[in-house]
Chains A and B, each alone.
Chain A
Amino acid sequence: MGVAKRLDSPDCRGFDLGQAVAEAGRCLLCHEAPCSKACPAQTDPGAFIRKLRFRNLTGAARTIKKNNVLGGACGILCPTARLCEKECSATGIDRPIRIGRLQRFLVEHAWKTGFNPLEKPETRRKEKVAVVGSGPAGLACAAHLARLGFPVTVFEARPEPGGVLRYGVPEFRLPKEFLQRELDDIRALGVVFRCGSPVRGKGAAEALLKKGFKAVFLAPGLWAPMRLNSRKAAGVFSSVDFLAAQREGRKGPLENALRGKPCAVIGGGSVAIDCARSALRLGASDVYLLYRRSFAQMPAEEDERLEALQEGVHFLVLNQPVEYLCDPKGALTGIRLRKTRLGRPDGSGRRKPEEVPGTDWTLEVRAVIEAIGNKAPEGSSQAYPSVAVRPDGLIRAGEKDGRTSKAGIYAGGDIVRGPDLVVRAVSDGKAAAKAIAAQLGVRA
C-alpha cells in the first residue's frame, strides 16, 4: 500500500557517508556562499558542506551545532526549497545541493561516532536565567546561554520538552529518538528542565525576576486551536489535540474514531497536511483535505502537498465547510460543504474565494480534524502583565534582540511571530540569548 511504501523509502532515512560525500562533492564551494546568507538561523551550510568536503566531519558537526542547536531537527523539518537551497548556485548547473539532508547526516554521524561538538563551558557564571517553554525558541536560547556559562532553567508546562517538535510534528517525520538525541546534547550543556511546570497566573513571569532570575525569555508558542463556528459533534478534533494524542501514545481512541472510516481535515497549511497524513496512518478509509482556495494557494510546502497526494490524501479544494451533520446521538455523520470560486485579489494579494450560492452538498465523514490555525490561549498574557501584547495576543518584541516592553523580559518564536518555522524560532532564541548575555555584561 502507498503509505507503507513511502515510509520505507530512502527519503525517510538520512544519507549514509557515501551518499553524503557524493552530494557534498557536487557543491560549488561558492565564494561568500549564498546558501549561508539564506539560512535564518545562520547555520552556515556553506561552511559545513565545505568541511564535509575536506573530510573534516567533526568540524562540520561543530559548525552546525554551534550555530543551531537544533541542527538535526532543522535538517529534517526546514522547508529548504525556500530557504538555503533556494539560493544554491548549483541550481544554475542542474539542481540545488540537498543541504537539509547533509545537515541531518552530519548531526547523526556525530551521534553515531560519539563525537559531541558542543563542549561544556569553561567558565561558570552566577546570573540565573529562566526560559518559559521548551520549544525550538526556548531550547535555542537556553543552549546558547548555557554555552556562555549561565545557569539556565527551562520551565515547561507539558510533561516532556520539545514543544511542537515533541507534541506537534508527527513521529513519521521526526522520530522520537532523534529528538531525544538532540535534547540530550542540550542537557549535556547543563540546562535544567522543569517539566510539568507551567508559568501561569497573574504576573508569574515578573515573579521569576523577583525570585532571582536575572532575565526571562518567553517562548510559549501558540497552543490554543482556532475552531470552526459550528454545532458540536462527537468525532471532531482540533489539530492540537489530534497530533498531541498521537505523540503522547494515546492512539487508541483516535484509531477507534478513524479506522476504516472516511474522515476530513479542514485547512491548507502544513499542520493540515500533517493531520491528513497521520489520519491515513491511523487507518482512515479515505482522507479528504478540505480547503476553500486552490491547490496552488495552499500555504503548505509544495513537497508536503505532493507527498500527501502520493500517499492518497484526496484534495478537495474550492470547498468551504458550512456545518457539521450529526445523528440523533450527536455523532458526526458528515459535513455540509459549499463550493467556492476565486474572485479578485484580497489584502494578502491572493485571489479571494467566493461562495457559489446554491451549491451546497454533503460529504459523508465520521471524523473531522480542524487545522485552521493556532493562537495564544485566552488570558495567557496575564502571566506577563507588564509586557506589551498585540490585540491578537502576540507579544511585541524586538526583531533583533527579543526585547519586550519590560526590562529583563525577552520573547521569541511563534508567540511573537505568529505561526512560523522551527529555524526562525531558533534564530529568535539565539538573538535573545545574545541580548540577555549583553545585558549581563557578556559579549556573545
Chain B
Amino acid sequence: MSAKKVDLSVEFCGKKFLNPFMLSSSPVSNSAEMVGRSFDAGWGGVAYKTLVTDRVPIVHPSPRMHGYDYGDKKLVGLQNVEQTTDRGLKPNLLDIAYLKKHWPRHRVMASIMGFSNQEWADLAKAVTDAGADMIELNFSCPHMTVEGSGCKVGQEHDLVEKFTTTAHKVTDLPLIAKLTPNVTDMTIPAMAAKRGGAVGITAINTVKGLSEVGLDDWVPRPNVFGKGAISGYSGPAIKPIGLRFIADLAAHPELKLPLSGIGGIETWVDALEYLLVGASTVQVTTGIIHYGYRIVEDMIEGLSDYMAQKGVSRVQDLVGKAIPHLHETGQFDIKRQGIARYDMDRCVGCGQCYIVCRDAGGFALEWDEKKRRPRQVEEKCLSCMICGFVCPVQGMISFKEMPKAFKRRETITLGRARS
C-alpha cells in the first residue's frame, strides 16, 4: 500500500481529528500564536493550557523546570513546578475562539481546573461559549497549592464524580477527565468520572518525583531560591508508566471509554505503542519542550509508512491491538525455556557480558583471556538476557528457545547443612 493512501484521521469522543497527534496542556499550548504554528506544523489538535478563574492570580515559581540527563543523553526526564496558566481567563478565551475561527478542522480541547463546584461550572460554560470542541477536566496537576484542586481531586474519587457532574450540567461538549498517575489504581477515578458524565479519559499527567539534589546546596531541583519540592516528572523516563495506565484503562471490562495517551512521547514509535495499548489520540509536552513542534512531521511520516507497510489503512484499526496479548504474569507458559544465543563472529571482545553474567546472572560465561572472548555454558544460562542489554554489538546476543529436553543446572550452594 502506498503511504499516500493511509488515512491518519481518527475519531475521539465523537470528534474527528486530522491525525491522532495533539499538544498536551502545558507551556507548549499556552497561546493561540503558539498553537496556530503547531497546527501549521502538522499537529491535529490541542489540549489548551489549563484555564482557571481569575480569582487567585497564578504566579509560577522561578526557575520552574529542571532537566534530568542520563550520561550524555539530555532530558530523559523533566521536573517542573509550573502551575496552571498564568494568563487571564479572558485573553485565553479570545485565543481559543481565534484558533477555532482560523483552524476550523483542528480540534481544540479546553483544559480547565476549578477550585470549587461553582468555578468548574463557570469555566465549563466559558470555554463552551468560546467555541472549544471539547473539555478536558484537569484532575491531576501535582502542584496546585489550593486544596480541592489538581491531583488532590484525582485522588478523591467522589470529588472527581461531583465536579464532572457539575460540568456536565452546564455544557453539551464531550468531557474528558485527565487523571493523575499518582494513584495505585487509575480505573477507580476513571469509573467515577464516567459516572459523572465523562466520555473519555486522558492519562497521564506528570508523575510525582524528585530527580536531582544539589550536592553543594543540598536543595532538590529545581532550586527555587533555596527550596525544592516533590513535583511533576515527565518525558521519556515516564513512558512505561503512561503505557501501563492506558493499558489498565483499556483492559478494564466496564470503563470502555476512548482514551488519550500521554507520557514521554517523542517519535511515531512511542505514539504507536500508545495506540496499540488503547489510546486513540496521543498528547505531547516534553518532546516538544526538547525539540519543538517539528517532531510531528516525523510522527506523521513514520506512522503513515508503518501503516502502509502493514497494510493498515485507518488509525482506528490499530487502537488496542496489544490488549489481547496482555496477561497476568501467572499465565505465562513456563514449560517453554530458552537461553541467550551468541553470534560469536561479531564479538569485539569487550567482556561486559562476562562481568554482568557473573555478578548478576547465572555465571554461565567463561572468559578466554588470550582470545578475549566469552564462552557460554548453555545449561547455566538463566535467560535473564542482561548480557544482551549491555552488549555494544547490536543483535549479537539474542534469545533462542531450547528443546523440551533442555535442563538448566542448579545454582551451586556453598553452605552445608548441619548433620
Which residues from chain A sit less than 8 Å from chain B, CB to CB? 16-18, 25, 29, 50-51, 54-56, 58-59, 62, 115, 119
Contact: A56 with B268, CB < 8 Å?
yes
Contact: B298 with A51, CB < 8 Å?
yes
Which chain B residues (65-79) contact chain A, with CB distance < 8 Å? 73
Instruction: Name B394's contact: one of A18, A54, A115 (CB within 8 Å).
Output: A18
Contact: A55 with B394, CB < 8 Å?
no
Chain B residue contacts of A29, Cβ below 8 A: 291
Q: Bits for B264-279, please: 1 = Cβ < 8 Å to A, else 0.
A: 0011110000000000
Contact: B309 with A54, CB < 8 Å?
no
Contact: A54 with B302, CB < 8 Å?
yes
Q: Bits for B283-304, please: 1 = Cβ < 8 Å to A, else 0.
A: 0000000010011011101100
Contact: A58 with B267, CB < 8 Å?
no
Give A302 to B318 CA distance when docked, in angstroms: 52
Which 5 residue pairs of A and B lie closest in terms of their CB atoms, listed nearest first?
A: A18-B394, A59-B301, A56-B298, A58-B305, A56-B302
In this assembly, does B4 line the interface, its C-beta being within 8 Å of a C-beta of chain A?
yes
Chain B residue contacts of A62, Cβ below 8 A: 301
Chain B residue contacts of A55, Cβ below 8 A: 267-269, 298, 302
Instruction: Name A54's contact: one of B73, B266, B306 (CB within 8 Å).
Output: B266
- A sample of 10 inter-chain contacts (CB < 8 A) reads A50-B298, A54-B266, A54-B267, A55-B269, A56-B299, A58-B3, A58-B302, A59-B297, A59-B298, A115-B309
Which residues from chain B sit less than 8 Å from chain A, CB to CB? 2-4, 73, 266-269, 291, 294-295, 297-299, 301-302, 305-306, 309, 392-394
Chain A residue contacts of B393, Cβ below 8 A: 18
Contact: B267 with A56, CB < 8 Å?
yes
Contact: B301 with A16, CB < 8 Å?
no
Chain B residue contacts of A54, Cβ below 8 A: 266-268, 291, 295, 298-299, 302
Give A318 to B301 CA distance when docked, in angstroms: 55
Give A51 to B299 CA distance when docked, in angstroms: 9
The residue of chain B having its C-beta at the shortest distance from the C-beta of A31 within the complex is B292
Most interface-central of B268, B297, B298 (chain A CB within 10 A): B298
Chain A residue contacts of B73, Cβ below 8 A: 25
Chain B residue contacts of A119, Cβ below 8 A: 2-4
Give A115 to B309 CA distance when docked, in angstroms: 9
State how many angstroms separate the Cβ of A360 from the closest Cβ of chain B: 53
Chain B residue contacts of A16, Cβ below 8 A: 394
Instruction: Name A59's contact: one of B266, B269, B302 (CB within 8 Å).
Output: B302
Give A17 to B305 CA distance when docked, in angstroms: 19
State how many angstroms separate the Cβ of A399 from the closest Cβ of chain B: 31
The residue of chain A having its C-beta at the shortest distance from the C-beta of B295 within the complex is A54
State how many angstroms separate the Cβ of B287 from the closest Cβ of chain A: 9
Give A25 to B76 CA distance when docked, in angstroms: 13
Contact: A51 with B269, CB < 8 Å?
no
Chain B residue contacts of A59, Cβ below 8 A: 297-298, 301-302, 305
Chain B residue contacts of A50, Cβ below 8 A: 294, 298
Chain B residue contacts of A58, Cβ below 8 A: 3, 301-302, 305-306, 309
Give A58 to B267 CA distance when docked, in angstroms: 13
Give A18 to B394 CA distance when docked, in angstroms: 6
State how many angstroms separate the Cβ of B73 from the closest Cβ of chain A: 8
Chain B residue contacts of A18, Cβ below 8 A: 392-394
Chain B residue contacts of A25, Cβ below 8 A: 73
State how many angstroms separate the Cβ of B393 from the closest Cβ of chain A: 8
Chain B residue contacts of A56, Cβ below 8 A: 267-268, 298-299, 301-302, 305
The residue of chain B having its C-beta at the shortest distance from the C-beta of A26 within the complex is B72
With A17-B394, A54-B267, A54-B268 already in contact, the answer to whether A115 and B305 are too (CB < 8 A) is yes
State how many angstroms separate the Cβ of B130 from the closest Cβ of chain A: 33
Most interface-central of A18, A51, A54 (chain B CB within 10 A): A54
Most interface-central of A16, A29, A58, A119 (chain B CB within 10 A): A58
Contact: B301 with A51, CB < 8 Å?
yes
The residue of chain B having its C-beta at the shortest distance from the C-beta of A122 within the complex is B4
Give A115 to B302 CA distance when docked, in angstroms: 13
Chain B residue contacts of A115, Cβ below 8 A: 305, 309
Give A25 to B297 CA distance when docked, in angstroms: 18
The residue of chain B having its C-beta at the shortest distance from the C-beta of A120 within the complex is B2
The residue of chain A having its C-beta at the shortest distance from the C-beta of B303 within the complex is A56
Give A18 to B267 CA distance when docked, in angstroms: 17
State how many angstroms separate the Cβ of A115 from the closest Cβ of chain B: 7
Chain A residue contacts of B268, Cβ below 8 A: 54-56
Chain A residue contacts of B297, Cβ below 8 A: 59
The residue of chain A having its C-beta at the shortest distance from the C-beta of B296 within the complex is A54
State how many angstroms separate the Cβ of A17 from the closest Cβ of chain B: 6
State how many angstroms separate the Cβ of B309 from the closest Cβ of chain A: 7
Chain A residue contacts of B269, Cβ below 8 A: 55
The residue of chain A having its C-beta at the shortest distance from the C-beta of B73 within the complex is A25
Give A55 to B393 CA distance when docked, in angstroms: 19
Give A17 to B2 CA distance when docked, in angstroms: 25
Give A16 to B395 CA distance when docked, in angstroms: 11
Give A18 to B395 CA distance when docked, in angstroms: 9
The residue of chain B having its C-beta at the shortest distance from the C-beta of A21 within the complex is B394
Apart from A51-B301, A54-B291, what are 15 other A-B pairs with CB-CB below 8 Å?
Answer: A17-B394, A18-B393, A50-B298, A54-B266, A54-B268, A54-B298, A55-B267, A55-B268, A55-B298, A56-B267, A56-B305, A58-B302, A58-B306, A59-B298, A119-B2
Give A25 to B75 CA distance when docked, in angstroms: 13
State how many angstroms separate the Cβ of A35 from the closest Cβ of chain B: 16
Give A115 to B2 CA distance when docked, in angstroms: 11
Chain B residue contacts of A51, Cβ below 8 A: 298, 301
Chain A residue contacts of B306, Cβ below 8 A: 58
Chain A residue contacts of B2, Cβ below 8 A: 119
The residue of chain B having its C-beta at the shortest distance from the C-beta of A52 within the complex is B298
State how many angstroms separate the Cβ of A158 from the closest Cβ of chain B: 35
Chain A residue contacts of B4, Cβ below 8 A: 119
Give A16 to B76 CA distance when docked, in angstroms: 24
State how many angstroms separate the Cβ of A394 from the closest Cβ of chain B: 41
State how many angstroms separate the Cβ of B285 from the closest Cβ of chain A: 16
Chain A residue contacts of B309, Cβ below 8 A: 58, 115
Give A58 to B266 CA distance when docked, in angstroms: 17
Give A51 to B298 CA distance when docked, in angstroms: 6
State how many angstroms separate the Cβ of B308 from the closest Cβ of chain A: 9
State how many angstroms separate the Cβ of B37 from the closest Cβ of chain A: 14
State how many angstroms separate the Cβ of A42 from the closest Cβ of chain B: 17
Chain A residue contacts of B394, Cβ below 8 A: 16-18
Give A17 to B299 CA distance when docked, in angstroms: 20
Give A16 to B348 CA distance when docked, in angstroms: 15
Give A62 to B309 CA distance when docked, in angstroms: 14
Give A325 to B283 CA distance when docked, in angstroms: 78
Give A115 to B305 CA distance when docked, in angstroms: 9
Chain A residue contacts of B299, Cβ below 8 A: 54, 56
Give A16 to B4 CA distance when docked, in angstroms: 29
State how many angstroms separate the Cβ of A194 from the closest Cβ of chain B: 30
The residue of chain B having its C-beta at the shortest distance from the C-beta of A55 within the complex is B267
The residue of chain B having its C-beta at the shortest distance from the C-beta of A63 within the complex is B301
Chain B residue contacts of A17, Cβ below 8 A: 394
State how many angstroms separate the Cβ of B301 from the closest Cβ of chain A: 4
Give A29 to B394 CA distance when docked, in angstroms: 25
The residue of chain A having its C-beta at the shortest distance from the C-beta of B291 within the complex is A29
Give A81 to B148 CA distance when docked, in angstroms: 61
Give A58 to B294 CA distance when docked, in angstroms: 17
Give A224 to B267 CA distance when docked, in angstroms: 52
Give A59 to B300 CA distance when docked, in angstroms: 10
State how many angstroms separate the Cβ of B176 from the closest Cβ of chain A: 27
